Structure 1
Amino acid sequence: MVAWALSRLLLLATALVVAASHGWRLADVLGNWDVKHFATIATQGYAPDPQEMAFFPGLPVLMRAGAVLGLAPVWSGVLLALVGSALAAWALARLAGTGAAVAWLFAPTAIFTAVGYTEALFCAAAFWAWERARADRWAQAAVLAALASTLRVSGLFLVGALALLALSWPPVRDRALGVRVRAALVRGAWLLLPVAVIGGYAVYLWTLTGSWTAWYSAQEAGWQRTFTLPWDAVRATLDAVRPGGYADQHGWGMMFRFELVSFVVGLLTTGWMLRRRRWGEAGWVGVQVLAFSLSPWLMSVNRAVLLWFPTWSILGEVAAHPAATRSGRLTRRLLVGGYALGSVVTMVWWAWKFGTGQWAS
């Protein structure tokens, strides 16, 4: 709870400094980029701009509910993010320990868990869904996964990862394949609920547009997300970070560099989980890494790292790993302290970029 409060206060302080130094309203600082899209949907629906269909309706519905209480969408988003980030950190602490939760709260891209984006609420629902599934409470896990699926398309990946978890369930993992499949089917049947939610959104968009691919078309029209082979996406991103290149001239080069780092983090996390035979966690991260590599360039991977609870679990394990010697303990403290300092500094820098309206991934 202390880490949650400190991290949120630090992000708020950064926003206040941005507002004061530029003479802006705090609501304007906290309402940049996708917050505007969610606010538009909350107040006007999907009709004004077909590109808005790229955003799932869960958060705009909650923002509209906030309007009943007299809250502007920006402030509803902030309050929802505060609650969501607290719940997500709680779930992560239960899944992987306090260290993992603290690392997540002070993540470089933590600004997206403090404003009207879906990351905080999605992580809260998804992390708790995983925790409940691990506790063999699959009905509860399915309801939580369904809630997550109202927020972003990542809910589809969550369903797939939970299905892998059901198939590799520890009590039946070493039994015959038939026993494992039957156990997975019993547990996995609950996952039809979040699948129905995602299907319901597709049907809703079809009623508006007459197209079953309205969500993908919105992604293509607004963000040029067209199918690209992974190696071509990586090559295009590497070209984007060239000094003096197009992206670098617009101040985007650093973000593309971070996208590459985040992509590598996803690959390493997937490999780590595969090596430990944690198939569900490997699938959760691996399928997202693959999905991001099928666009013309790597984009939004930085924010997706927030969703990867296996990554934060690894950080928590490494930080808590006991050292056998005095020099080893000193080295571990230096590495953990150096990472913590770097993460906090980067978090503030990222919040400044977001608050000033610069491209922040």
Structure 2
Amino acid sequence: MSVSAPPRPVETPGRPATRRAFPWRPGRADREVLWLYLLTRVGLWATAESVRWLFPADGETRRPPSLLSPWQQWDWWHYLHIARDGYFPGRAGPWTAGWDNREAFLPGFPLTLRAVHAVVPHWAAAGALISFVAGGVAVLALARIARLQLPDLDAGRRTVLFFLCSPCAVFLTAGYTEALFLALALPAWLAALRRNWPAAAALACLACSVRVTGLFLVGALVLQFALTARGRRAWRAAPWLCLPALAPALFSWYLHARTGDWMAWKHAQERGWYREFHSPWEAWANTWDAAFHHVHPTGYALMWQAELLAMLVGVVLLILLVRRRRWPEALYTGLTLWALGTSYWYTSVPRSTLLWWPLWIGLASWSLRRPRVQSAYLCVAAPLATTVAVTFLSGRWAG
């Protein structure tokens, strides 16, 4: 399928096209998607409830930890500290011994958390609410993108089913950035498919404040615009695509004003997470050693095995997108893989699969041609998703 000749933008056969980025009135297909979303949220919260009884920090305790304690893991504490205390509390910073490198995290989620906390007093509850609402928006947008690209009436529901049962789906419920980013990035891409460039640019700007992956989304939007713009009137919307640069520019300016370093975000990543540049083959070799050479505890070794597998999935996805000439999606995926695959070793690649919407649409398309694919995927992915959820919720793995 060529991107230069995109499909006619209709939600379902027989319904008129619309230029609105995200029509909020849900139809029947949207309600089916939301029902799937609610059912999987119930399953994840039931898993969290089991974890807090089965895996308390103190194995001899007679009282389980609080209801929300399983969700307060790893990166959550960075977001909480930023939302509650700011980036540089009490003039502390990279010059302070024991600094936590919190400037490595973009401000979009912490600012949202602080705003919601004004209404929801419990910080963890506020984070859970953000992810719950954002996840609902994300799955609706994903389903609508799938229905634009695939002819089958079941395309949206099937795509969302693959997405919600993916091995790392727990991170859509945790107080992490994935759900909020997708709630902005997927409607932005939907707006681009409908050639509503002001909406696409505004949403992408907000996405850039949540995750650095937003910059890769902007690259895909620019390429999509270049491939689909026809005539002088269409090109008048081009200046809108400069808008997403505002978010990273403002954050860099803020960090420079506090630290004197325009690249403080990148340097914090390097200090805290070994994000300094290494060639792709070096990163692969280092991750392979960590996964299979028995130099780390088995739990961490399994984590790096998952990193390697997720990277292979991403490379296969990229090859398929290039073969099918889905150039904007290929650019987005390729930039993501380059960023993740050029550190000392791979970190957070499995989580990043949640952000590869072409993967879930591609799996749905494959399953529509070969019905056994859906059964095979669910039989394998569901146990893996439960394993990852229990591992994360019990504090044994960052993901």
Q: Return the TM-score normalized by structure 1.
A: 0.90
1:129 aligns with 2:177: no
Aligned counterparts, 1:192-211, within 5 A: 192-211=242-261
Secondary structure of the residue aligned to 1:26 is: coil
Conserved 8 A contact 1:225-1:296: yes
Q: Is the 8 A contact 1:63 1:76 kept in 2?
A: yes
- Residue type matched to 1:339 in 2? Y
C-alpha distance 274-184 of structure 1, shift in aligned 2 (>3 A): farther
**Quick one: distance in 2 between partners of 1:185 and 1:240?**
49
2:49 corresponds to 1:16 = yes
Match of residue 342 from structure 1: 380
Deviations, residues 200-227 of structure 1 (Å, cap 9, x unaligned): 1111111111101100111011111111
> Which deviations, in whole Å up to 9, do the C-alpha atoms of 1:237-290 show, x marking residues without a partner?
1111115x123x251111111111111111111111111111100001011101
Amino acid at match of 2:166: A
Q: What's the CA shift for 1:347?
A: 1.2
1:45 pairs, out of 57, 72, 86, with 86
Contact 2:162 2:364 in 1 (8 A): yes
1:228 aligns with 2:278: yes
Q: How far 1:187 moved relative to its partner?
A: 3.8
Aligned to 1:358: 396
**Is 1:299 the counterpart of 2:299 in the alignment?**
no
TM-superposed deviation, 1:359: 1.6
| Equivalent position of 1:327 in the other structure | none
In structure 2, the partner of 1:150 is 209
- Paired with 2:116 and 2:141, the residues of 1 have a C-alpha distance of 25
**Is the contact between residue 205 and residue 247 of structure 2 (CA under 8 Å) also seen in structure 1?**
yes
1:108-161 alpha-carbon deviations (Å, 9 max, x no partner): 101110011000010111011000000010001111101111111111111111
The structure whose residues are more often helix, as a share, is 1
Deviations 1:315-341 (A, max 9, x none): 1101112xxxxxxxxxx4443212112
**Structure 1 portions without partners, runs of 5+:** 173-178, 322-331
Aligned to 1:159: 218
- Cα contact 2:135–2:179 (8 A) shared by 1: yes
Select the residue among 88, 105, 113 that pairs with 1:63. Answer: 113
The amino acid across from 2:123 in the alignment is P
Paired letter, 1:24: P
User: What are the superposed Cα offsets for residues 54-74 of structure 1, whole Å, 9 maximum, x if unpaired?
Assistant: 111111111111221242221
Q: Match of 1:246, SS?
A: coil
> Which position in structure 1 is the counterpart of 2:200?
141
Which residue number in structure 1 is paired with residue 25 of structure 2? none
**Do the aligned partners of 1:57 and 1:150 also contact (CA within 8 Å) in 2?**
yes
What is the percentage of aligned positions where both structures have the same residue?
37
Rounded Cα–Cα distance in structure 2 between residues aligned with 1:293 and 1:184: 36
Q: Could you list the runs of 4 or more consecutive aligned residues of structure 1 that deviate by over 3 angstroms after TM superposition?
A: 182-188, 332-335
1:270-281 matched pairs, under 5 angstroms: 270-281=318-329
Contact kept? 2:144, 2:190, Cα under 8 Å: yes
- Aligned residue for 2:299, secondary structure, equals coil
What are the ranges of 5 or more consecutive residues in structure 2 without an aligned counterpart?
1-33, 57-63, 95-100, 147-155
Using a 3 Å threshold, how does the CA distance of structure 1 residues 103 and 212 change in structure 2: closer, same or farther? same
| Residue identity opposite 2:86 in structure 1 | G
Q: How many residues align?
A: 340
Once residues 211 and 141 of structure 1 are traced to their aligned partners in structure 2, the CA distance between those partners, rounded to angstroms, is 31
SS at match of 1:241: helix
- Secondary structure of the residue aligned to 1:220 is helix
Name the residue aligned to 2:73. 32
Separation (CA, whole Å) in 2 of partners of 1:184 and 1:220? 41
Q: State how far apart, in whole Å, the 2-side matches of 1:315 and 1:334 are.
A: 12
Which residue type is aligned with residue 69 of structure 1? V
Matches of 1:41 and 1:351 in 2, distance apart? 25
Distance 1:205 1:12, change over 3 A: same
Residue 311 of structure 1 aligns with an amino acid whose one-letter code is: L
Structure 2 distance, partners of 1:28, 1:89, is: 26
Which amino acid is 2:158 matched to? G
Q: Secondary structure at the match of 1:299?
A: coil
Determine the structure 2 residue equivalent to 1:329. none
Cα distance, 1:185 vs structure 2: 5.2
Root-mean-square deviation (Å):
1.6
> How far apart are the structure 2 equivalents of 1:316 and 1:44?
43
